[in-house]
Amino acid sequence: MALADGLHTGFFVLVGVSVAIIILTLFLKDVPLRKTAPGTPETPIAKGEAIAADPLVSESNERV
Q: Which residue has the higher pLDDT, 38 or 64?
A: 38
CB contact at 8 A, 46 and 35: yes
Does residue 33 fall inside a structural domain?
yes
| Residue 34 pLDDT | 72
CB contact at 8 A, 57 and 63: yes
**Domain limits at 38?**
2-47
pLDDT band, very low/low/confident/very high, at 18 (cuts 50, 70, 90): very high
Does residue 9 fall inside a structural domain?
yes
Question: Is it the case that residue 26 has pLDDT exceeding 90?
Answer: yes
CB within 8 A of 16, min separation 6: which ones?
A: none
33: left (phi over 0), alpha (psi -120 to 50) or beta: beta
Q: Which residue has the higher pLDDT, 48 or 38?
A: 38
pTM, to two decimals: 0.46
Does residue 53 fall inside a structural domain?
no
Number of domains present in the structure of the chain: 1
CB contact at 8 A, 51 and 45: yes
| Residue 32 pLDDT | 80
**How is residue 57 annotated by DSSP?**
B
